[in-house]
Amino acid sequence: MWYEAKSDIRSFKAKVRKRLNADETASRSKIQSEIDAAQTRIAEIDKYVQGLFEAKVRNEIDSDIFGSLSKTYTEEKAELNAKIADLILQENSAKDAYQKINRLYEAIEKYDSITELTSEVLSDFVDRIEVG
């Protein structure tokens, strides 16, 4: 990868940008549709809870049913809010990819040649190593 980038940096950047844009576009649209669906469901839950409360005030349902349904809706809403927070984190991590690519370009430009694999070279080119 380093040799390819050094020989033709413009072509290398174009390839990386194309791949990153394709991945990000698919990921961003999927994440946004999931966020929209969760927000729509939260709005529905709010209406249901309001209706339950009004029915309780009018003595149309008893306290046990109100409590049970209210608890169920509250738990679902909390799960949806947690899901939205997680999706937003995923969306932000996609944006971090651009910063990582810029750090890669800086590392490529920093070295004229790599003849020895040193800790400095590794730290410039390797963000993390996962073992599974």
Summarised one tens digit per residue, pLDDT across range 47-89 is 999 999 999 999 999 989 999 999 999 999 999 999 999 998 8
Structure tokens at 100: 């990582």
Q: Report the number of distinct structural domains present in the chain.
A: 1
What does the DSSP 8-state code read for residue 102?
H
Host domain of residue 18: 2-125
Average pLDDT of span 2-27: 74
Model confidence band, residue 127 (pLDDT cutoffs 50, 70, 90): confident
Whether residue 131 is contained in a domain is answered as no
The answer to whether residue 89 sits within a structural domain is yes
Does some domain include residue 112? Answer: yes
Residue 123: its pLDDT value, please?
A: 82
Closest CA to 44 of 82, 4, 88, 80: 80
Instruction: State percent of the chain over pLDDT 70.
Output: 92
Is 124 in contact with 107 (CB distance < 8 Å)?
yes
| pLDDT given for residue 23 in this prediction | 66
Residue 130 lies in a domain: no
